[in-house]
Structure 1
Amino acid sequence: MNNSEPAKPRFTLSFGRVALLLAALIAVVAVGITQYRKYKSANPEPTADSSAPAGPVADVASMIASLEKRLQSNPDDAEGWNMLGWSYYSTGRYADAATAYGRAIKIDPRNATYWSALGEVEVLAGPGGITPKAVEAFGKALAIDPKDFRARYFMGVKKDQDGKHQEAIDDWIALVKEAPAGAPWEDAVRDLIAKASKEHNIDVAGRVPPKRIAPMADVGGGMGGMPVTGSGAQVATDGIPGPSAGDMQAAAGMTTGQQNEMIAGMVGKLEARLASNPRDSKGWIFLMRARMVLNEPDKARKALADGKAAFAGDKAEQARIDEAAKALGVQ
């Protein structure tokens, strides 16, 4: 890091982190829970486990407890350690996440996703900036999979941190060009390009392609790239309408608690919009997902009921909302 200009790298990194987390948080959590369900289905407990949560897993704390217990008896399960790393990451336990991802890598060192996940938590656990350990992890990921989104994104942040702003923006534009339609992180990267180009007076006119809209029949997923089929489940794991560039700039200097309050405020705006325009099934699905992320299952169930009531007599839209609720673990 250039010690003569500490503010610029720190601000840009903070902005990028907030942009990515705010725009992708809800999708990442929804996909992570679905991944856990699939993992658990493929790796059933040998005996009944009274401590495991009943029904769909909508509580990350329960997920952590279940994974920790499972890994005690099966410590060579790389995907189990990966899921535990994600669970720690989602609750802000970045050092623990790094340890878990490290265990997964020891078992499966040729998995690019594990390496890039390790790099990300090394960044978030560090004092600020892209640390040498993070650079090493991202480099390993890219050596295995040159297309790894997360590694490419953060290596762009590293270039920006080192004053190579043009190269960083070039990298992020390349990501946007290659983004699958409906990628939940795309809006965050687009806003970051706009902010960085304005900050450093770099002309990007005509270089950023228009956003593509994913048809409902397509499959989609979060940052992990896990496909989710079906129209309701598709919306459940697509990107939520993200914060504005102004919102993210304000959030860059906030504490984690303040950022959470900001997310709650965004959800409140969505709820108010649905009150005035209730015939919006996608909006109700976003609201259910948001409530589950904020650990408000009762409010998620209310959103499910209200959404279905808004489409009384429309079995297709009700089925779509029900499908999304099932994908999110709303009971």
Structure 2
Amino acid sequence: MTFWVLIFLVALLIAAFLSYTLLRNRRSDEPAAAYDLRVYREQLASVDRDLTRGVIGEADADRVRTEISRRILAADAQMKQEGRSGGPARSVSVVAIACLALVLIGGATAMYHRMGAVGLPDMPLAARVEMAKEVRANRPSQAAAEELVTPPVPRQLEDSYANLLKQLRETVAARPDDLQGHMLLAQHETNAGNFMAGYTAQKNVVELSGEAVTADAYSDLAEMMILAAGGYVSPEAEQALDQALKRDPRHGPARYYWGQMLAQVGRPDIAYRVWVETVQDAPPGAPWADAIRRQIDELAFRAGVFNAPNLSGATGQPGPSQGEVAAAAELTPEERQEMIQGMVNQLSDRLATEGGSPEEWARLIAALGVMGQAQRAIDIRDEAMTVFAGDDAALEMIDAAALQAGIAQ
């Protein structure tokens, strides 16, 4: 209630100030014509004095009196005109004041109802931080989130790839202690859109790895759980991210999802700092850096940051234009698959004839793995290993792409 009284009093004070300006008598100031009349009358008196002293003749005195009289008549007419247009009528001013007060008071109230939070108590920083802690501690579990999410539409797989995936499931079921088998199963289940099955297999990867489990393994587990929950970072996914960051505090994908979690629980200020550092540390073409750049402006606004650094650097990987994305959205699944195949073939032909960066070779290998063209992916991997022989960083990138494609040796 105090807030509304304060708003009303402020609006009323402004209206009163403007009303005083409208109602005050602006005609109290002397018009310019009144000053002219005094001057002309003084000139008439001086003419009589000059005539008495003999300074001027009678004929000159009459001529000057006539000219001054003409000017006096003109000044008097001007004063009468100013008197008639000295301002609006009082009734008009009163109506204007009433409308002004209505606009100020009513408009302020309507704007707050539309843009404000009626009935919401003050939210100091300490209260918001405490609320974020409660949200983080009491948010839904992974299972609860999966129940609320619309299940993803299964991807259309080629028959050969579907059969290989079925055989892989059977092989892993028969050999539950096969670490490599679980790694392949987790990757291919995720590629096929079976995110729950993917993170179930990835949990087995973490367990079978024992003390040698890597930050990548935990980060992949968290990512699969987040995909299964429709982008929501559950407490279970947070635990996996925490384990990944304990093993590698600069792990890019884990830091990306960690920032996403912080934004979801009401701490966009911390999330913004995490994302900025992640982008600044990211290698060229890192997919998590591209994802951050697409969302950083909105997060900066939520965090109250208006002097954000420029993070829109080159990603290192050319992407489709907006027109190409819009055209792809209108294609049928078969046409879209054909378009993707054409893009992959174009990239493959260019790398074979002109060469390219390790990122492009890795992207081609990963794409072929997702499309189920395992043998072709193996051939490209072998060729890339030859091209980048002796370049440890490039070979590591190629190995990572091969693992993603499910063709790791």
TM value normalised by structure 1: 0.49
Find the structure with the greater CA-based Rg. Answer: 2
Report which of the two has the higher share of helix. Answer: 2
Higher relative contact order (CA 8 A, sep 6+): 1
